[in-house]
Protein backbone atom coordinates (compact mmCIF):
# COMPACT_ATOMS: atom_id res chain seq x y z
CA UNK A 1 0.00 0.00 0.00
CA UNK A 2 1.18 3.50 -0.81
CA UNK A 3 0.45 6.66 1.12
CA UNK A 4 -1.01 8.95 -1.54
CA UNK A 5 -4.55 9.84 -0.43
CA UNK A 6 -5.87 12.39 2.04
CA UNK A 7 -6.40 11.31 5.63
CA UNK A 8 -10.17 11.52 5.18
CA UNK A 9 -10.06 9.33 2.08
CA UNK A 10 -8.09 6.67 3.94
CA UNK A 11 -10.57 6.72 6.80
CA UNK A 12 -13.58 6.68 4.43
CA UNK A 13 -12.30 3.50 2.80
CA UNK A 14 -11.83 1.93 6.23
CA UNK A 15 -15.30 2.95 7.42
CA UNK A 16 -17.10 1.60 4.36
CA UNK A 17 -15.23 -1.72 4.45
CA UNK A 18 -16.11 -2.15 8.11
CA UNK A 19 -19.71 -1.14 7.40
CA UNK A 20 -19.88 -3.59 4.48
CA UNK A 21 -18.81 -6.48 6.70
CA UNK A 22 -21.02 -5.45 9.60
CA UNK A 23 -24.09 -5.23 7.36
CA UNK A 24 -23.46 -8.74 6.06
CA UNK A 25 -22.81 -10.07 9.57
CA UNK A 26 -26.15 -8.62 10.64
CA UNK A 27 -27.89 -10.30 7.73
CA UNK A 28 -26.35 -13.65 8.65
CA UNK A 29 -28.02 -13.29 12.07
CA UNK A 30 -31.32 -12.37 10.42
CA UNK A 31 -31.00 -15.34 8.08
CA UNK A 32 -30.45 -17.74 10.97
CA UNK A 33 -33.47 -16.26 12.71
CA UNK A 34 -35.50 -17.08 9.59
CA UNK A 35 -36.23 -13.41 8.96
CA UNK A 36 -34.63 -13.27 5.51
CA UNK A 37 -36.91 -14.50 2.77
CA UNK A 38 -34.51 -15.06 -0.13
CA UNK A 39 -30.94 -16.26 -0.51
CA UNK A 40 -27.96 -14.61 1.14
CA UNK A 41 -24.69 -14.13 -0.72
CA UNK A 42 -21.53 -13.09 1.09
CA UNK A 43 -18.64 -10.89 0.00
CA UNK A 44 -16.46 -11.86 2.97
CA UNK A 45 -12.88 -11.13 1.97
CA UNK A 46 -13.87 -9.09 -1.09
CA UNK A 47 -14.98 -5.85 0.59
CA UNK A 48 -11.96 -3.92 -0.70
CA UNK A 49 -13.10 -4.40 -4.31
CA UNK A 50 -16.68 -3.16 -3.92
CA UNK A 51 -15.69 -0.23 -1.72
CA UNK A 52 -12.48 0.80 -3.49
CA UNK A 53 -13.96 0.80 -7.00
CA UNK A 54 -17.24 2.54 -6.14
CA UNK A 55 -15.35 5.17 -4.12
CA UNK A 56 -13.50 6.13 -7.33
CA UNK A 57 -16.74 7.24 -9.01
CA UNK A 58 -18.21 10.73 -8.93
CA UNK A 59 -21.74 11.37 -7.70
CA UNK A 60 -23.04 11.80 -11.25
CA UNK A 61 -21.59 8.46 -12.41
CA UNK A 62 -23.64 5.28 -12.70
CA UNK A 63 -23.05 1.80 -11.33
CA UNK A 64 -24.77 -1.56 -11.49
CA UNK A 65 -23.80 -3.95 -8.67
CA UNK A 66 -23.96 -7.70 -8.50
CA UNK A 67 -25.29 -9.52 -5.44
CA UNK A 68 -21.87 -9.45 -3.70
CA UNK A 69 -21.36 -5.71 -4.17
CA UNK A 70 -23.27 -4.42 -1.17
CA UNK A 71 -20.22 -2.32 -0.31
CA UNK A 72 -20.69 -0.38 -3.56
CA UNK A 73 -24.31 0.34 -2.63
CA UNK A 74 -23.26 1.69 0.76
CA UNK A 75 -20.61 3.93 -0.82
CA UNK A 76 -23.22 5.29 -3.25
CA UNK A 77 -25.48 6.24 -0.35
CA UNK A 78 -27.95 3.36 0.06
CA UNK A 79 -28.92 3.09 3.76
CA UNK A 80 -28.38 -0.31 5.43
CA UNK A 81 -32.09 -0.48 6.26
CA UNK A 82 -32.89 -0.68 2.53
CA UNK A 83 -30.54 -3.66 2.20
CA UNK A 84 -32.07 -5.35 5.25
CA UNK A 85 -35.66 -4.75 4.11
CA UNK A 86 -34.94 -6.00 0.60
CA UNK A 87 -33.74 -9.33 1.95
CA UNK A 88 -36.66 -9.45 4.39
CA UNK A 89 -39.19 -8.58 1.64
CA UNK A 90 -40.64 -5.72 3.68
CA UNK A 91 -43.13 -3.18 2.36
CA UNK A 92 -40.83 -0.19 3.01
CA UNK A 93 -38.04 -1.71 0.91
CA UNK A 94 -37.14 -0.12 -2.47
CA UNK A 95 -39.14 -2.84 -4.28
CA UNK A 96 -42.01 -2.80 -1.75
CA UNK A 97 -41.37 -6.40 -0.75
CA UNK A 98 -41.31 -7.83 -4.27
CA UNK A 99 -37.74 -9.12 -4.07
CA UNK A 100 -35.75 -11.10 -1.53
CA UNK A 101 -32.23 -9.99 -2.48
CA UNK A 102 -30.44 -6.88 -3.71
CA UNK A 103 -32.29 -6.57 -7.00
CA UNK A 104 -33.15 -2.91 -6.73
CA UNK A 105 -31.86 0.37 -8.12
CA UNK A 106 -32.27 4.12 -7.93
CA UNK A 107 -32.33 5.79 -11.33
CA UNK A 108 -33.31 9.26 -10.20
CA UNK A 109 -30.98 10.18 -7.32
CA UNK A 110 -28.20 7.64 -6.75
CA UNK A 111 -27.81 6.48 -10.38
CA UNK A 112 -27.91 2.77 -9.56
CA UNK A 113 -29.11 0.20 -12.09
CA UNK A 114 -30.63 -2.92 -10.57
CA UNK A 115 -28.61 -6.16 -10.74
CA UNK A 116 -29.53 -8.68 -13.45
CA UNK A 117 -29.46 -12.35 -12.49
CA UNK A 118 -28.27 -13.44 -15.95
CA UNK A 119 -24.55 -12.93 -15.46
CA UNK A 120 -22.91 -10.66 -18.01
CA UNK A 121 -26.07 -8.87 -19.11
CA UNK A 122 -25.13 -5.77 -17.13
CA UNK A 123 -22.16 -5.18 -19.46
CA UNK A 124 -24.18 -4.18 -22.56
CA UNK A 125 -26.73 -2.41 -20.34
CA UNK A 126 -24.08 -0.21 -18.72
CA UNK A 127 -22.45 0.33 -22.08
CA UNK A 128 -25.78 1.73 -23.24
CA UNK A 129 -26.04 3.97 -20.18
CA UNK A 130 -22.52 5.25 -20.85
CA UNK A 131 -23.37 6.00 -24.48
CA UNK A 132 -26.59 7.76 -23.45
CA UNK A 133 -24.68 9.94 -21.00
CA UNK A 134 -22.21 10.89 -23.73
CA UNK A 135 -25.09 11.70 -26.11
CA UNK A 136 -26.67 13.95 -23.48
CA UNK A 137 -23.34 15.64 -22.77
CA UNK A 138 -23.19 14.51 -19.13
CA UNK A 139 -19.51 13.38 -19.08
CA UNK A 140 -20.39 10.36 -16.94
CA UNK A 141 -18.64 7.03 -16.45
CA UNK A 142 -20.48 3.76 -15.81
CA UNK A 143 -19.24 0.75 -13.87
CA UNK A 144 -20.29 -2.81 -13.20
CA UNK A 145 -18.77 -6.01 -11.85
CA UNK A 146 -18.48 -9.58 -13.09
CA UNK A 147 -17.02 -12.76 -11.59
CA UNK A 148 -14.51 -15.16 -13.12
CA UNK A 149 -17.33 -17.56 -13.98
CA UNK A 150 -19.45 -14.81 -15.49
CA UNK A 151 -16.58 -13.81 -17.77
CA UNK A 152 -17.14 -17.07 -19.66
CA UNK A 153 -20.67 -16.13 -20.76
CA UNK A 154 -21.37 -15.10 -24.33
CA UNK A 155 -22.84 -11.74 -23.37
CA UNK A 156 -19.61 -10.84 -21.52
CA UNK A 157 -17.76 -10.97 -24.84
CA UNK A 158 -20.57 -9.45 -26.90
CA UNK A 159 -21.00 -6.61 -24.43
CA UNK A 160 -17.28 -5.91 -24.11
CA UNK A 161 -16.87 -5.91 -27.90
CA UNK A 162 -19.82 -3.52 -28.20
CA UNK A 163 -18.33 -1.21 -25.55
CA UNK A 164 -14.96 -1.30 -27.30
CA UNK A 165 -16.31 -0.48 -30.76
CA UNK A 166 -18.35 2.39 -29.32
CA UNK A 167 -15.46 3.63 -27.12
CA UNK A 168 -17.96 3.88 -24.30
CA UNK A 169 -16.85 5.52 -21.02
CA UNK A 170 -17.27 2.28 -19.12
CA UNK A 171 -15.17 0.46 -16.48
CA UNK A 172 -15.63 -3.27 -15.90
CA UNK A 173 -14.38 -4.83 -12.67
CA UNK A 174 -13.63 -8.55 -13.05
CA UNK A 175 -13.56 -10.15 -9.59
CA UNK A 176 -11.40 -13.24 -9.96
CA UNK A 177 -12.29 -14.97 -6.69
CA UNK A 178 -10.94 -18.35 -7.91
CA UNK A 179 -14.26 -20.23 -7.80
CA UNK A 180 -17.27 -20.14 -10.12
CA UNK A 181 -19.59 -21.74 -7.58
CA UNK A 182 -17.70 -25.04 -7.10
CA UNK A 183 -15.62 -24.91 -10.29
CA UNK A 184 -12.04 -23.67 -9.88
CA UNK A 185 -11.07 -21.00 -12.39
CA UNK A 186 -8.30 -23.19 -13.86
CA UNK A 187 -10.94 -25.75 -14.89
CA UNK A 188 -12.97 -23.21 -16.86
CA UNK A 189 -10.43 -20.77 -18.37
CA UNK A 190 -7.08 -21.63 -20.03
CA UNK A 191 -5.59 -18.30 -18.92
CA UNK A 192 -3.51 -17.23 -15.97
CA UNK A 193 -4.78 -13.65 -16.15
CA UNK A 194 -8.39 -13.03 -17.11
CA UNK A 195 -7.41 -9.45 -17.95
CA UNK A 196 -5.86 -10.88 -21.12
CA UNK A 197 -9.37 -11.12 -22.52
CA UNK A 198 -9.32 -7.35 -22.99
CA UNK A 199 -6.66 -7.73 -25.70
CA UNK A 200 -9.16 -9.36 -28.03
CA UNK A 201 -11.19 -6.14 -28.07
CA UNK A 202 -8.30 -3.69 -28.22
CA UNK A 203 -8.96 -2.12 -24.83
CA UNK A 204 -6.73 -1.43 -21.84
CA UNK A 205 -6.69 -3.56 -18.73
CA UNK A 206 -5.15 -3.70 -15.25
CA UNK A 207 -4.35 -6.56 -12.88
CA UNK A 208 -4.52 -5.66 -9.19
CA UNK A 209 -4.45 -7.18 -5.72
CA UNK A 210 -8.14 -7.19 -4.82
CA UNK A 211 -7.34 -7.35 -1.10
CA UNK A 212 -5.39 -4.06 -1.12
CA UNK A 213 -8.06 -1.37 -0.94
CA UNK A 214 -5.64 1.48 -1.68
CA UNK A 215 -4.41 -0.21 -4.85
CA UNK A 216 -7.99 -0.98 -5.83
CA UNK A 217 -9.08 2.63 -5.35
CA UNK A 218 -6.03 4.18 -7.03
CA UNK A 219 -6.35 1.92 -10.08
CA UNK A 220 -10.10 2.42 -10.38
CA UNK A 221 -9.67 6.19 -10.08
CA UNK A 222 -7.14 6.16 -12.94
CA UNK A 223 -9.38 3.94 -15.08
CA UNK A 224 -12.40 6.17 -14.45
CA UNK A 225 -10.40 9.27 -15.40
CA UNK A 226 -9.19 7.63 -18.62
CA UNK A 227 -12.69 6.48 -19.56
CA UNK A 228 -14.09 9.96 -18.88
CA UNK A 229 -11.36 11.46 -21.08
CA UNK A 230 -12.55 9.40 -24.05
CA UNK A 231 -10.14 6.47 -24.02
CA UNK A 232 -12.96 3.98 -24.14
CA UNK A 233 -13.78 1.05 -21.84
CA UNK A 234 -11.23 -0.40 -19.41
CA UNK A 235 -11.12 -3.81 -17.72
CA UNK A 236 -9.71 -4.28 -14.21
CA UNK A 237 -9.03 -7.80 -12.98
CA UNK A 238 -8.99 -7.90 -9.18
CA UNK A 239 -7.48 -11.11 -7.82
CA UNK A 240 -9.14 -12.16 -4.57
CA UNK A 241 -10.88 -15.09 -2.90
CA UNK A 242 -14.47 -15.94 -1.96
CA UNK A 243 -14.08 -17.06 1.65
CA UNK A 244 -17.61 -18.42 2.03
CA UNK A 245 -19.67 -20.63 -0.26
CA UNK A 246 -21.75 -19.46 -3.18
CA UNK A 247 -24.57 -18.68 -0.73
CA UNK A 248 -25.59 -19.56 2.82
CA UNK A 249 -26.69 -23.04 1.74
CA UNK A 250 -23.20 -23.85 0.39
CA UNK A 251 -20.56 -24.98 2.95
CA UNK A 252 -17.87 -24.79 0.22
CA UNK A 253 -16.26 -28.07 1.26
CA UNK A 254 -14.72 -28.27 -2.20
CA UNK A 255 -12.17 -25.56 -1.27
CA UNK A 256 -8.79 -26.97 -0.09
CA UNK A 257 -8.11 -26.09 3.56
CA UNK A 258 -4.66 -24.76 2.70
CA UNK A 259 -6.13 -22.33 0.16
CA UNK A 260 -8.71 -21.04 2.61
CA UNK A 261 -6.08 -20.57 5.35
CA UNK A 262 -3.82 -18.63 2.98
CA UNK A 263 -6.52 -16.16 2.02
CA UNK A 264 -7.93 -15.79 5.52
CA UNK A 265 -4.48 -14.56 6.54
CA UNK A 266 -4.83 -11.92 3.81
CA UNK A 267 -8.08 -10.43 5.09
CA UNK A 268 -8.41 -7.00 3.42
CA UNK A 269 -9.69 -5.23 6.52
CA UNK A 270 -6.94 -6.65 8.75
CA UNK A 271 -4.29 -5.72 6.19
CA UNK A 272 -5.67 -2.20 5.90
CA UNK A 273 -5.87 -1.70 9.66
CA UNK A 274 -2.21 -2.67 9.92
CA UNK A 275 -1.33 -0.14 7.22
CA UNK A 276 -3.36 2.66 8.85
CA UNK A 277 -1.82 1.99 12.25
CA UNK A 278 1.68 1.99 10.76
CA UNK A 279 1.07 5.32 9.02
CA UNK A 280 -0.40 6.87 12.20
CA UNK A 281 -3.72 7.39 10.44
CA UNK A 282 -5.64 5.23 12.92
CA UNK A 283 -5.16 4.25 16.53
CA UNK A 284 -7.05 2.14 19.06
CA UNK A 285 -9.36 4.99 20.02
CA UNK A 286 -10.11 5.80 16.38
CA UNK A 287 -10.88 2.15 15.66
CA UNK A 288 -13.23 2.00 18.65
CA UNK A 289 -15.03 5.14 17.49
CA UNK A 290 -15.64 3.62 14.06
CA UNK A 291 -16.96 0.43 15.64
CA UNK A 292 -19.31 2.33 17.95
CA UNK A 293 -20.56 4.49 15.07
CA UNK A 294 -21.36 1.43 12.96
CA UNK A 295 -22.96 -0.45 15.86
CA UNK A 296 -25.23 2.51 16.66
CA UNK A 297 -26.18 2.97 13.02
CA UNK A 298 -26.96 -0.68 12.37
CA UNK A 299 -28.96 -1.09 15.57
CA UNK A 300 -31.29 1.70 14.45
CA UNK A 301 -31.38 0.50 10.82
CA UNK A 302 -32.15 -3.07 11.83
CA UNK A 303 -34.90 -1.98 14.22
CA UNK A 304 -36.51 0.10 11.48
CA UNK A 305 -36.32 -2.82 9.03
CA UNK A 306 -37.78 -5.35 11.46
CA UNK A 307 -40.66 -3.02 12.32
CA UNK A 308 -41.50 -2.44 8.67
CA UNK A 309 -44.72 -4.30 7.70
CA UNK A 310 -44.97 -7.05 5.13
CA UNK A 311 -46.70 -5.97 1.90
CA UNK A 312 -50.50 -6.37 1.79
CA UNK A 313 -51.80 -9.33 -0.19
CA UNK A 314 -53.59 -7.17 -2.76
CA UNK A 315 -50.28 -5.51 -3.63
CA UNK A 316 -49.08 -8.72 -5.33
CA UNK A 317 -50.90 -7.96 -8.57
CA UNK A 318 -49.49 -4.43 -8.98
CA UNK A 319 -46.21 -3.20 -10.35
CA UNK A 320 -45.50 -6.23 -12.51
CA UNK A 321 -44.78 -3.97 -15.49
CA UNK A 322 -43.76 -0.34 -15.67
CA UNK A 323 -46.75 1.64 -16.93
CA UNK A 324 -45.11 5.02 -17.51
CA UNK A 325 -45.26 8.15 -15.40
CA UNK A 326 -47.34 6.53 -12.67
CA UNK A 327 -44.42 4.11 -12.21
CA UNK A 328 -41.55 6.60 -12.39
CA UNK A 329 -40.96 9.92 -14.10
CA UNK A 330 -37.48 9.59 -15.58
CA UNK A 331 -36.58 12.08 -18.29
CA UNK A 332 -33.34 12.73 -20.21
CA UNK A 333 -31.19 15.34 -18.52
CA UNK A 334 -29.58 17.29 -21.32
CA UNK A 335 -26.24 18.90 -20.57
CA UNK A 336 -25.85 20.12 -24.17
CA UNK A 337 -28.16 21.92 -26.62
CA UNK A 338 -30.53 19.42 -28.21
CA UNK A 339 -29.97 21.20 -31.53
CA UNK A 340 -26.43 19.81 -31.58
CA UNK A 341 -27.73 16.29 -32.09
CA UNK A 342 -30.86 17.13 -34.09
CA UNK A 343 -30.43 16.39 -37.81
CA UNK A 344 -31.09 19.40 -40.08
CA UNK A 345 -34.31 19.37 -42.06
CA UNK A 346 -33.81 18.27 -45.64
CA UNK A 347 -34.81 20.48 -48.57
CA UNK A 348 -35.38 17.37 -50.69
CA UNK A 349 -38.93 16.06 -50.81
CA UNK A 350 -39.43 12.55 -49.52
CA UNK A 351 -40.31 11.07 -52.91
CA UNK A 352 -38.76 7.91 -54.23
CA UNK A 353 -38.70 7.95 -58.03
CA UNK A 354 -38.60 4.53 -59.69
CA UNK A 355 -37.72 4.37 -63.38
CA UNK A 356 -40.78 3.26 -65.29
CA UNK A 357 -43.27 4.26 -62.61
CA UNK A 358 -42.99 8.04 -62.43
CA UNK A 359 -43.52 10.33 -59.48
CA UNK A 360 -46.06 12.85 -58.29
CA UNK A 361 -49.12 13.15 -56.10
CA UNK A 362 -51.34 10.23 -55.23
CA UNK A 363 -55.11 10.43 -55.26
CA UNK A 364 -54.87 11.15 -51.55
CA UNK A 365 -52.88 14.31 -52.25
CA UNK A 366 -49.60 13.09 -50.75
CA UNK A 367 -46.31 12.12 -52.34
CA UNK A 368 -46.09 8.45 -53.20
CA UNK A 369 -43.11 6.48 -54.50
CA UNK A 370 -45.12 4.29 -56.89
CA UNK A 371 -48.37 5.54 -58.41
CA UNK A 372 -51.33 3.53 -59.54
CA UNK A 373 -53.93 6.15 -58.62
CA UNK A 374 -56.13 8.29 -60.91
CA UNK A 375 -53.69 11.21 -61.14
CA UNK A 376 -51.73 12.38 -64.12
CA UNK A 377 -48.30 10.75 -63.97
CA UNK A 378 -45.16 11.29 -65.97
CA UNK A 379 -44.03 7.85 -67.12
CA UNK A 380 -40.69 6.96 -68.68
CA UNK A 381 -40.48 3.32 -69.74
CA UNK A 382 -37.13 1.55 -70.23
CA UNK A 383 -37.87 1.33 -73.94
CA UNK A 384 -38.43 5.07 -74.26
CA UNK A 385 -35.14 6.25 -72.72
CA UNK A 386 -34.09 9.37 -74.54
CA UNK A 387 -37.59 9.92 -75.90
CA UNK A 388 -40.15 12.40 -74.69
CA UNK A 389 -42.10 11.45 -71.54
CA UNK A 390 -45.33 9.57 -72.10
CA UNK A 391 -48.33 11.20 -70.46
CA UNK A 392 -50.75 8.76 -68.88
CA UNK A 393 -53.87 9.24 -66.85
CA UNK A 394 -55.69 6.72 -64.74
CA UNK A 395 -55.10 3.06 -63.91
CA UNK A 396 -55.47 1.41 -67.36
CA UNK A 397 -52.89 3.46 -69.34
CA UNK A 398 -50.30 2.87 -66.62
CA UNK A 399 -50.89 -0.89 -66.72
CA UNK A 400 -50.61 -0.91 -70.51
CA UNK A 401 -47.37 1.03 -70.39
CA UNK A 402 -45.91 -1.37 -67.82
CA UNK A 403 -46.91 -4.41 -69.95
CA UNK A 404 -45.33 -2.79 -72.97
CA UNK A 405 -42.12 -2.18 -71.08
CA UNK A 406 -42.00 -5.80 -69.93
CA UNK A 407 -42.66 -7.10 -73.44
CA UNK A 408 -39.98 -4.83 -74.90
CA UNK A 409 -37.45 -6.06 -72.32
CA UNK A 410 -38.27 -9.70 -73.12
CA UNK A 411 -37.86 -9.03 -76.87
CA UNK A 412 -34.38 -7.54 -76.30
CA UNK A 413 -33.32 -10.61 -74.32
CA UNK A 414 -34.48 -12.97 -77.13
CA UNK A 415 -32.50 -10.98 -79.72
CA UNK A 416 -29.30 -11.42 -77.63
240 domain residue, yes or no: yes
- Based on the domain organization, do 216 and 283 belong to the same domain? yes
70 domain residue, yes or no: yes
Q: Which residues of 252-269 are buried (b: 16+ CB within 10 A; e: fewer)?
A: eeebeeeeeeebeebbbb
242 domain residue, yes or no: yes
Query: pLDDT tens digits, the chain, 416 residues: what are they?
Result: 555 899 999 999 999 999 999 999 999 999 999 999 888 888 899 999 999 999 999 999 999 999 899 999 999 999 999 999 999 999 999 999 888 888 999 998 999 999 998 999 999 999 999 999 999 999 999 999 999 999 999 999 999 999 999 999 999 999 999 888 888 888 888 889 999 999 999 999 999 999 999 999 999 999 999 999 999 999 999 999 988 878 888 888 898 899 889 999 999 999 999 999 999 999 999 999 999 999 999 999 999 999 999 999 988 888 778 787 877 777 889 999 998 888 888 887 766 666 666 656 666 666 655 544 444 544 444 444 444 444 444 444 555 555 555 555 555 554 45
117 domain residue, yes or no: yes
147 domain residue, yes or no: yes
Q: What percent of the chain has pLDDT over 70?
A: 83
- Based on the domain organization, do 252 and 388 belong to the same domain? no
- Based on the domain organization, do 258 and 116 belong to the same domain? yes
pLDDT for res 249: 82
- Based on the domain organization, do 205 and 102 belong to the same domain? yes
Tally of domains within the chain: 2
Domain enclosing residue 384, as ranges: 360-415
- Based on the domain organization, do 295 and 393 belong to the same domain? no
The enclosing domain of 124 has a CATH number of 3.40.50.970
Q: Which residues of 121-160 are buried (b: 16+ CB within 10 A; e: fewer)?
A: bbbbbbbbbbbebbebebbbbbbbbbbbbbbbbebbbebb
345 domain residue, yes or no: no
- Based on the domain organization, do 131 and 272 belong to the same domain? yes
Query: Beta partners for 384?
Result: none
- Based on the domain organization, do 265 and 151 belong to the same domain? yes
- Based on the domain organization, do 295 and 381 belong to the same domain? no
Which of 253, 282, 317 is a domain's end point?
317
Amino acid sequence: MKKELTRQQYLDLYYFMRLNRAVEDTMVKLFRQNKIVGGLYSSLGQEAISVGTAYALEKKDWLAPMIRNIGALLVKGVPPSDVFMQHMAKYDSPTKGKDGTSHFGDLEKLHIVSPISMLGDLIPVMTGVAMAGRYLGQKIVTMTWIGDGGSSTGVFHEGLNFAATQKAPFVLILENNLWAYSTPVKRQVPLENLADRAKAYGISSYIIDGNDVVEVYATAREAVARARAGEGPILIEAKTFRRLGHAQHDPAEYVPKEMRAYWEARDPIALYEKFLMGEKLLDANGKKEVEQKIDTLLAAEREFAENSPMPPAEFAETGVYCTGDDCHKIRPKWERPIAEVTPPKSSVKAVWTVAGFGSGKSSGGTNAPIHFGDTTNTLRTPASDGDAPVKTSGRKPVKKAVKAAVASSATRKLKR
